[in-house]
Amino acid sequence: MIITHAEIDGFKNLKGISFDPDPKYNIITGRNAQGKTNLLEAMWIMSGCKSFRGSKEKDYISLDGNKMSAEIKLLDSVREHKIKFEMTGNRNVPKTIHLNGVRQKGTKSLFDTFKCIAFTPEDTEIIRGAPEKRRNFTDMAAAQLEPVFVSHINRNNAIMNQRNCLLKKIMQGQAKPDILSAWDRQAAKEGAVISYMRNSYVKKINKICGKLYRMISGGNEDMELEYRSNVFAKDDFSAPCGESAYERYYRKLCESAEYDIRTGSTHSGVNRDEILIKINGVSAKDYASQGQIKSAALVMKLAQAEIFMQRSKDAPVVFLDDVMGELDGNRQRFIFDIIKNMQVFLTTPNESALLPEIKGRIIHISEGRITDA
Ligand SMILES: Nc1ncnc2c1ncn2[C@@H]1O[C@H](COP(=O)(O)OP(=O)(O)O)[C@@H](O)[C@H]1O
Ligand SMILES: [Mg+2]
């Protein structure tokens, strides 16, 4: 899919942006702090995902204004879509989202419509950050393939919030322990499905990461991913997810209930899973060098793109924030070879550091405006 038109106003420092992107390469340049990343971010949020740099929604609004609007036209293999996202600085007024002129209740329909992948300097957190970063990456990438996964994640999070509240009440003697089991039965169904989905995605991405990492390291190094469920053993996943998986998950929650009550939080289940990433047989989080961490993070995102392409005829749109400048020609070529069928938006303060064959539309940003439209 490609973005054919974008209009943004009042998003952070962006003002009066209106442009028709190139179907291939869009190179966003300008000095520091002019709004290059803001421009990527404004397009990215149209996918219904949270900001890739962790901005809060209230920070989307320009400091010297009171509302923002962003609109894109998107062309996929079936039709053109129009997505419009508007917000005001007034917290009591909800944001409004329109898809093809129809007001939407939430962002789910955007997630189903606009598929994109962002590469940012913060991606290294997937490798070296807390387990939550790896779980989030896996869940988002799996949800891109199977949108129903989002509902399981949301329901599980809601049940876990309730369960954790209940644990605190039980600890304070305001509720009886036996009411936990009704929640745990529900949690078990969602948790088992999530575990199986994670296992299946990690198996897929493991294969591709292995291949890509060998290529990016000149054939010398290995990368491996392994899903570590804290409920299921590896062999359990050979049977399909069903009653016996729910039962196993439920029993695990029961086993840790006493400890959970004492501590007021849930210590088993999918919210404690780890996805172990190994380079040359040892944990990348603990032992990898800076360079290995950067390569591994890049490979994870490229593998995500490759898996997506195997499943869908509509390639995702790719956003590259400040990642090309520091890569040598060979690595840049490697990346562009994998994303060659995708529309790309990349930011760089220095377009001369890009490979000469990356030619496309150059968009200069200065003080939040496009200066060469
Ligand atoms: N809510 C906001 N309102 C107005 N300006 C903002 C807001 N949030 C960030 N900015 C401005 O955006 C600029 C940074 O934009 P960014 O896209 O990160 O720059 P870069 O071009 O380096 O990628 C800074 O000048 C910052 O002050
Ligand atoms: Mg930037």
pLDDT (tens digit per residue) in 7-55: 999 999 999 999 999 999 999 999 999 999 999 999 999 999 999 999 9
What ligand has the least distance to the C-alpha of 30?
Answer: 1
Q: What is the pLDDT of residue 224?
A: 98
**Mutate which of 13, 39, 60, 320 for ligand 1 pocket (most atoms within 8 A of beta carbon):** 13
Q: Is 148 in the pocket of ligand 1 (CB under 6 A)?
A: no
Q: Look up the CATH number of domain 129-289.
A: 1.20.1050.90
> Could you identify the atom of ligand 1 that is nearest to the CA of residue 38?
17
Give the nearest ligand 1 atom to 60 CA: 1
* Tens-place pLDDT, residues 172-186: 999 999 999 999 999
From the CA of 32, give the closest atom in ligand 1.
Answer: 22
Ligand 1 in reach of 37 Cβ (< 6 A): yes
For ligand 1, the distance from its centroid to the CA atom of residue 305, given in whole angstroms, is 28
- Domain spans in the chain, listed from the N-terminal domain onward: 1-115+312-373, 129-289
Residue 373: is its pLDDT beyond 90? no
The rounded Å distance from CA 306 to ligand 2 centre is: 26
Q: Is the CB of 62 under 6 A from ligand 1?
A: yes
Return the residue whose CA atom lies nearest to atom 8 of ligand 1.
12
Q: Is 57 in the pocket of ligand 1 (CB under 6 A)?
A: no
- Residue 117 Cα, ligand 1 centroid: separation in angstroms? 22
Q: Per residue in 223-273, pLDDT tens?
A: 999 999 999 999 999 999 999 999 999 999 999 999 999 999 999 999 999
Fold of the domain built from segment(s) 1-115+312-373: Rossmann fold (3.40.50)
| Ligand 2 center to 61 CA (angstroms) | 18
Q: Any idea which ligand is nearest the CA of 13?
A: 1
Is there an atom of ligand 1 within 6 Å of 38 CB? yes
For the Cβ of 42 lying below 6 angstroms from any atom of ligand 1, the answer is no
Which ligand ends up closest to the CA of 369?
1
Three-state SS letters, the chain: CEEEEEEEECECCCCCEEECCCCCEEEEECCCCCCHHHHHHHHHHHHCCCCCCCCCHHHHECCCCCEEEEEEEEECCCCEEEEEEEEECCCCCCCEEEECCEECCCCHHHHHHCCEEEECHHHHHHHHCCHHHHHHHHHHHHHHHCCHHHHHHHHHHHHHHHHHHHHHHHHCCCCCHHHHHHHHHHHHHHHHHHHHHHHHHHHHHHHHHHHHHHHHCCCCCCEEEEEECCCCCHHHHHCCCCHHHHHHHHHHHHHHHHHHHHHCCCCCCHHHCEEEEEECCEEHHHHCCHHHHHHHHHHHHHHHHHHHHHHCCCCCEEEEECCCCCCCHHHHHHHHHHCCCCCEEEEECCHHHCCCCCCCEEEEEECCEECCC
Confidence of residue 119 (pLDDT cuts 50, 70, 90): very high
pLDDT at 325: 77
